[in-house]
């Protein structure tokens, strides 16, 4: 397991809702696997009979059993994946050319042995990277189990499917290798952009998506980059100036801008966005193409966007927490695409 781990094998052990390694994995009748708590949280929000978050196939099963084969494989593969990550040449210490195997608890960063003993870090508390990762994993498991128990006990309070974002050591250092800068100079202030109102009024009904629009009460400001991307890897960030505003960030194709296709249109494959909308007294994260709830806490400060044209995927990260928010699977994007942002308020 210390050698190369096939990517396809890792995907089989990844929850298709939170995109982390499976915790208490269950497999639905259609064959897709999820963390038990992720599946329960998704069903609680959807307000429909239990259905698969990926293919929407309804299940008659009300008491899914733990998939012990996957459960037993996850710890071994998770640890091997971390060791493989630490051995990558691009993650070596730039100064000492040593593997970063030590985690600094004060700075939440990975260090090589020499750096950990240097003036800047020698007074900080350190631990092996594997130990820090396992501790973080155990804390996440406890939080998810607590959320699951709240559902099972039918706590009489609004339940927001917000799971804690798990920090990924070295994530931001790696992403910054692909940072690009640009100015979003194509701007439009428009009442006809229904992006936020469509999502705010989204309701699940009988396994179909319906939106009851309220006349477009949101005022939106949208902007996209003149430059388009067709190859390579690019990373950029969006600054969230006002935490009370709705926002969206991601990529779009020219065809979506020209046609003004609705965000809930079944034919929409021309924008891939992470959207935050205010609903009553709380905020909700969703994706587009398809419209899917994101079961993590909303980010504050900055949102990072990583576009991998080579694999045809796009990822969103919480910059402050060094954690992944959502990743569209490989092959979903076709090119060229442009960076896109949109903000709005009611």
Range of the domain at 260: 177-345
Task: Determine the Cα–Cα distance for residues 153 and 34; give it in Å rounded to an integer.
Answer: 21
Q: What is the Cα–Cα distance from 36 to 25, expressed in whole angstroms?
A: 6
Compute CA distances 329 → 17, 19, 92, 175, 320, whole Å: 12, 10, 28, 18, 24
First vs last Cα of the chain: how many Å apart?
53
Closest listed residue to residue 32, CA positions, set 10, 48, 17: 17
**Residue 53 maps to a domain:** no
- Read off the DSSP letter of residue 167: B
Cα 168 from Cα 165, distance rounded (Å): 9
Q: Is residue 193 a contact partner of residue 342, using CB atoms and an 8 Å limit? A: yes
Q: What is the mean pLDDT of each run of 10 residues along the chain (346 residues)?
A: 62 84 86 83 55 74 78 84 74 80 85 85 84 78 66 43 60 86 63 55 38 44 79 90 81 75 60 85 82 83 92 90 85 87 76
Let me know if residue 2 belongs to a domain.
no
pLDDT for position 159:
38
Determine, yes or no, domain membership for 190: yes
Look at the block and give the residue holding tokens 């709705």: 246
C-beta separation of 313 from 330 below 8 A: yes
8 Å CB contact between 26 and 64: yes
Distance CA 105, CA 271 (A): 38
- Per the domain annotation, does 55 fall within a domain? no
- Contact between residue 307 and residue 233 where contact means Cβ atoms under 8 Å apart: yes
What radius of gyration do the chain's Cα atoms show? 21
- Residue 251 covered by a domain: yes
50 lies in some domain? no
Q: Are 267 and 138 in contact (CB under 8 A)?
A: no
In a domain, 119, yes or no: no
Which strand (E) or helix (H) includes residue 248?
strand 246-252
Q: What pLDDT does residue 17 have? A: 82
What pLDDT is stored for residue 1 in this prediction? 44
* pLDDT score at 164: 57
Within a domain: residue 133?
no
Q: In this structure, what is the dihedral angle of CA atoms 125, 128, 131, 132, given to the nearest 10 degrees?
A: 50
DSSP string, 50-104: SB-TTT--B---SSPPB-HHHHHHHHHHHHHHHHHHHH-GGGB-TTT--B--EEE
Asked whether 305 and 237 are in contact (CB, 8 A), the reply is yes
Contact (Cβ atoms closer than 8 angstroms) between residue 251 and residue 328: no
Alpha-carbon span 170 to 208, nearest angstrom: 40
How many domains are contained in the chain? 1
Check which CATH number belongs to the domain holding 300 and give it.
2.60.120.920
């Amino acid at each position: 397991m210390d050698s190369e781990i096939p990517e396809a094998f890792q995907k089989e052990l990844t929850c298709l809702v939170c995109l982390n390694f499976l915790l208490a994995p269950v497999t639905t009748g259609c064959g897709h696997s999820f963390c038990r708590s992720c599946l329960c949280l998704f069903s609680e929000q959807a307000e429909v009979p239990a259905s698969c978050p990926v293919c929407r196939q309804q299940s008659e099963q009300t008491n899914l059993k733990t998939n012990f084969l996957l459960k037993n494989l996850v710890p071994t593969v998770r640890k091997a994946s971390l060791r493989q990550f630490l051995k990558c040449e691009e993650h070596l210490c730039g100064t000492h050319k040593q593997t970063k195997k030590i985690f600094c608890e004060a700075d939440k960063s990975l260090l090589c042995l020499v750096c950990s003993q240097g003036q800047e870090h020698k007074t900080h508390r350190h631990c092996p990277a594997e130990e820090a990762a396992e501790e973080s994993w155990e804390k996440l498991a406890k939080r998810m189990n607590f959320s699951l128990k709240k559902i099972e006990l039918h706590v009489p309070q609004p339940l927001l499917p917000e799971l804690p974002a798990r920090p990924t050591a070295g994530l931001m250092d790696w992403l910054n290798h692909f940072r690009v800068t640009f100015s979003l100079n194509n701007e439009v202030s428009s009442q006809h952009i229904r992006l936020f109102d469509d999502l705010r009024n989204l309701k699940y009904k009988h396994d179909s998506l319906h939106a009851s629009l309220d006349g477009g009460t949101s005022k939106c400001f949208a902007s996209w980059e003149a430059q388009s991307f067709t190859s390579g890897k690019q990373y950029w960030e969006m600054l969230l100036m006002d935490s009370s505003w709705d926002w969206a960030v991601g990529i779009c194709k020219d065809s979506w801008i020209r046609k003004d296709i609705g965000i809930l249109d079944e034919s929409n494959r021309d924008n891939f966005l992470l959207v935050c909308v205010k609903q009553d007294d709380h905020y909700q994260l969703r994706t587009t193409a398809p419209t899917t709830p994101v079961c993590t806490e909303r980010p504050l400060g900055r949102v990072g966007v990583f576009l991998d044209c080579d694999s045809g995927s796009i990822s969103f990260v919480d910059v402050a927490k060094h954690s992944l928010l959502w990743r569209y699977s490989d092959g979903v994007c076709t090119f060229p695409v442009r960076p896109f942002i949109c903000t709005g308020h009611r």
